[in-house]
Amino acid sequence: MFITSLQATFNARRHWVPPDQWAGWLALAPYARRRTDLQRLWFKDLVVYRRWIEVARLTYNLAIVALLVAIAVLLVPPGHVDATRAIAIALAALGALGEVAWALAAERARRHRRVRYEPTDLSPIAGPTMLPRPPAEPARE
């Protein structure tokens, strides 16, 4: 599951365009139709990116829980359990329960603050530029 999480993260990254790079792409689009095509492509990539990130998050959380549960199970000996081993088993089991609680709380918080993207939201607020604006001239006395 850790490997699946890593692969999903790499696949998600293939579809991610940082905002500064996105602004640069729009600045280089000479025509409105090209801008519309770029916006459509970006929106499709954003959907794919979200899907892969969901897979990465789910498999990563499951892998941590599975690892902690496996540690707890493997620590149980065939015979008598001494106090030190019982503490180690309890800590691993508590870690697994804590990770489940943490993942559920994070998922709940994420769903409440999710930003929704609509195709109409993709137009830039102001025309993007490739170069920063020159500093203002100081006032002369």
Phi, psi dihedral angles at 77 (to 5 degrees): -80, 165
| Predicted model pTM | 0.66
pLDDT tens string for the chain (141 positions)?
A: 999 999 999 999 998 888 778 778 777 777 888 888 888 888 888 889 989 999 999 999 999 999 999 999 999 988 888 999 999 999 999 999 999 999 889 888 877 776 555 555 555 544 444 444 555 566 665
Query: Would you kindly state where each structural domain of the chain is located, as residue ranges?
Result: 2-122
Are the C-beta atoms of 64 and 31 separated by less than 8 Å?
no
CA 14 to chain centre: 13
